[in-house]
A = this chain, B = another copy of it.
Amino acid sequence: MSKTLGEFEQIAQLMAPLAEKAKGAFALKDDGAVFSHRIDQEIVVTTDTLIAGVHFFATDDPFDIAVKLLAVNLSDLAAMGACPLHYTLNASYPQNITNDWISTFAKGLAHMQERFGISLLGGDTTKTPGPLTLSLSAFGLVKKSTALRRNGAGEGDLICVSGTIGDGALGLKVAKGDLEDTSGYLLSRYLRPSPRIALGQSLIGLATACMDISDGLLGDFNHLGCGGIIHMDKIPLSAQARQILDKDSEQIFTILNGGDDYELLFCIDEKSRPVLEDIAHACETDIAVIGRITKDSDLSLLQPDGTTMSTIPSGYRHF
């Protein structure tokens, strides 16, 4: 059994090393932290809360929980085209969380720090009688007035997505034992999403609208504030998702509507289409054109036989 550390020892030993590269974090010893941007930049801030039993399983590996916590926030920065810089962490730990747990959690944070060049800037640690509750705020930089927005798509724009759709939602079903995937791929996509940071930055000045898909492709499409036609056969699926869909066509609803994709949904003008391939190559991220923005305010799902899908599942709501 590990020695119990008090609040201040825990912060000094387990968290302060994560803040070493952020001079303005003052080793987490002050009332606040300080940071700044260059004159031609702005700060993008985003924040998300993950709760045990709601957004992840309390028994998940703390390393994975840390990866997901940072990934979902970095995915929001990616959606705005921002370059990630810092984050703050509010951790509310139940009594049964051990120092070993926190130590492994910190290793997951360190892994993401290394991968995305970010550092911890500050935070707050509390005990809770409730479930483990983790709020993280991520800070990134964009060139002034260039941040990607959700609401700029116009009629005729191409609808694009990164990566593959539905893996996260299928992975959740695997985690629950409702689906089988011996490859482990779907579960890894659910547990450790990849924020599309490089792609987001490449889309600045190019995408007319951009957002990340966290609540399912169809539900999130509504937030673009316009209608469109999406070609069902153009929606990119992983081999594993395809295999599951071949066995059970009803899983299309999980894929389109299940959440946890953390891919980018964006629109571009038709004339920008030729550069997509270069961007995909440079960012090592597949990009698929899946449809087009229409004058109509509705979304139509076009099936390969030319008919429109009659039942469009409604978007995921947190509550």
Chain A contacts to B: CB under 8 angstroms: 6-8, 24, 26, 29-37, 39, 41-49, 51, 53-55, 76-77, 79-80, 82, 88, 90, 92, 121-131, 133, 135, 137, 139-140, 142, 144, 147, 149-151, 211-212, 223, 317-319
What are the 4 A-B residue pairs with the smallest beta carbon separation, nearest first? A130-B130, A32-B46, A31-B79, A90-B135
Tell me, rounded to whole Å, the shortest Cβ–Cβ distance linking A4 to chain B: 9
A42 touches B35 (CB 8 A): yes
A54 touches B318 (CB 8 A): no
The answer, among B33, B212, B319, for a CB contact under 8 Å with A44, is B33
Distance, CA A44 to CA B151, complexed state (A) = 30
A126 touches B54 (CB 8 A): yes
List chain B residues, Cβ under 8 A from A76. Answer: 31-32
Tell me, rounded to whole Å, the shortest Cβ–Cβ distance linking A81 to chain B: 10
Distance, CA A76 to CA B88, complexed state (A) = 15
Q: Which of A48, A133, A142, A211 has the most CB of B within 10 A?
A: A133
Given contacts A49-B92, A137-B137, contact A318 B36 (CB under 8 A): no
Tell me, rounded to whole Å, the shortest Cβ–Cβ distance linking A261 to chain B: 14
Distance, CA A212 to CA B32, complexed state (A) = 11
Jot down 12 A-B pairs with beta carbons below 8 A, ordered by A: A7-B319, A30-B149, A32-B80, A32-B140, A32-B147, A35-B43, A35-B45, A36-B41, A45-B121, A47-B124, A51-B126, A130-B133
List chain B residues, Cβ under 8 A from A90. Answer: 47-49, 90, 135
Given contacts A7-B317, A127-B319, A317-B7, contact A32 B45 (CB under 8 A): yes
List chain B residues, Cβ under 8 A from A123. Answer: 47
List chain B residues, Cβ under 8 A from A140. Answer: 32
Tell me, rounded to whole Å, the shortest Cβ–Cβ distance linking A49 to chain B: 5
Distance, CA A7 to CA B219, complexed state (A) = 13
A36 touches B42 (CB 8 A): yes
Distance, CA A122 to CA B138, complexed state (A) = 12
| Closest B residue, CB atoms, query A150 | B30
